[in-house]
């Protein structure tokens, strides 16, 4: 058994259960939305922190729901890659994982109530729908992750909606500028989901899933993934050319080696562990790209 698949102990069990490599998908869009808000108002850092931790709790809980329901449906085994492994490798009771996920949802809900109290109660509906989608991604009778729409839902909720809410709680509205800049974030979060489905295409077929990667085939799925990357970078370049955003936004180009390497690995390798590195590069692309875009906006604002 590889080192990655060995059983863990102590705090590592719970840390890996959160799937920490995915948590940056929450941090980056919150940061981007807040940097967009800089152009309209002074930042309320307490609201920023509340939004950040609420999103982190929801993301971690979603990962735990994934772990629980994939185990219940018989999709995870001790050899499965890319999971926390708390249940199948470390002997944690499935019920404990589910309860921990619900507890994190509770913490997120409390933070959400604080955010609503300070801003607008309409966010109670928006946040509730987002949390429901997080649960239904792998929970419920018809899990979103088992359909071709996983990339769509994750991109809109995790990539776009978090950016827009993070801007809204500071500004009190959603400027068109925020919508435009949330597009590459949405595409790159969708890319994370697609890369995961490309990696798991064989196991997902056995489990009865009908993901986009399965429906279009591995080769076409890699092409779609490459298009997500390409459009994201071109989107920012065009905005700079049109002078719709500061030239400092071109800092995102510093991240371009990651998606190139990811696509190269996907095209050349099919081994589960090696392809897992491509998925890691995809996740890093999202984090670094969105973070650099936010930094670019910050520098442009200061200068």
Mean pLDDT of 202-216: 88
Domain boundaries, the chain: 3-302
Distances (CA, A) of 264 to 191, 193, 219, 260, 282: 15, 18, 12, 6, 12
Q: What is the mean pLDDT of residues 7-12?
A: 60
- Confidence (pLDDT) at 68: 86
Number of other residues whose CB lies within 10 A of the CB of residue 222:
21
Token pair for residue 4? 């990655």
> Looking at residue 85, what is its pLDDT?
58
The proportion of the chain whose per-residue pLDDT surpasses 70, expressed as a percent, equals 91
How confident is residue 2, by pLDDT bands cut at 50, 70 and 90?
very low
The rounded percent of the chain whose pLDDT value lies above 90 is: 63
- Per-residue pLDDT of 214-235, as tens digits, reads 999 999 999 999 999 999 999 9
Question: Of 236, 233, 255, whose CA–CA distance to 244 is shortest?
Answer: 236
Q: What is the 3-state secondary structure (H, E, C) of the chain?
A: CCHHHCCCCCHHHHHHHCCHHHCHHHHHHHHHHHHHHCCCCCCCHHHHHHHHHHHHHHHHHHHHHHHHHHHHCCCCCCCCCCCCCCCCCCCCCHHHHHHHHHHHHHHHHHHHHHHHHHCCCHHHHHHHHHHHHHHHCCCCCCCHHHCCCHHHHHHHHHHHHHHHHHHHHHHCCCCHHHHHHHHHHHHHHHHHHHHHHHHCHHHHHHCCCCCHHHHHCHHHHHHHHHHHHHHHHHHHHHHHHCCCCCHHHHHHHHHCHHHHHHHHHHHHCCCHHHHHHHHHHHHHHHHHHHHHHHHHHHHHHHC
**What are the structure tokens assigned to 24, written together?**
């940056």
pLDDT digits (tens, 9 = 90+) for 243-265: 999 999 999 999 999 999 999 99
Q: Which residues contact 7 (CB under 8 A, 6 or more apart)?
A: 85, 89, 90, 91
Higher per-residue confidence, 273 vs 85: 273
> What confidence score (pLDDT) does residue 86 get?
66
Residue 2 has, within 13 A of its CA and on its CB side, a CA count of 9
Residue 148 has pLDDT above 70, yes or no: yes
| Residues 186, 293: Cα–Cα separation, whole Å | 13
> Which CATH class, in words, describes the domain spanning 3-302?
mainly alpha
**pTM summary value:** 0.87
Higher pLDDT residue, 137 or 287? 287
């Amino acid at each position: 058994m590889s080192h990655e698949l060995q059983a863990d102990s102590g705090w590592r069990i719970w840390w890996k259960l959160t799937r920490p490599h995915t948590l940056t998908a929450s941090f980056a869009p919150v940061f981007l939305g807040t940097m967009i808000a800089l152009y309209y108002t002074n930042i309320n850092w307490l609201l920023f922190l509340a939004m950040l931790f609420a999103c982190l709790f929801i993301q971690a809980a979603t990962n735990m729901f994934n772990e629980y329901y994939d185990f219940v449906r018989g999709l995870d085994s001790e050899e499965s890659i890319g999971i926390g492994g708390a249940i199948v490798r470390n002997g944690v009771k499935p019920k404990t994982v589910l309860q921990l996920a619900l507890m994190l949802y509770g913490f997120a809900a409390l933070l959400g109530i604080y955010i609503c109290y300070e801003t607008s109660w309409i966010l109670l509906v928006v946040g509730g729908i987002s949390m429901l989608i997080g649960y239904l991604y792998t929970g419920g009778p018809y899990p979103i992750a088992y359909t071709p729409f996983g990339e769509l839902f994750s991109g809109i909720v995790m990539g776009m909606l978090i950016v827009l809410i993070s801007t809204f709680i500071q500004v009190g509205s959603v400027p068109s500028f925020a919508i435009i800049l949330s597009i590459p974030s949405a595409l790159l979060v969708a890319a994370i989901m697609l890369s995961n489905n490309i990696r798991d295409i064989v196991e997902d077929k056995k489990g009865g899933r009908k993901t986009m990667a399965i429906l279009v085939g591995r080769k076409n799925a890699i092409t779609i993934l490459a298009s997500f990357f390409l459009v994201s970078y071109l989107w920012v370049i065009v905005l700079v050319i049109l002078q719709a955003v500061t030239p400092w936004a071109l800092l995102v180009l510093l991240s371009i080696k990651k998606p190139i390497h990811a696509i190269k690995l996907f095209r050349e390798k099919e081994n589960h562990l090696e392809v897992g590195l491509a998925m890691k590069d995809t996740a890093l692309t999202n984090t670094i790209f969105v973070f650099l875009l936010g930094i670019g906006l910050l520098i442009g604002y200061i200068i």
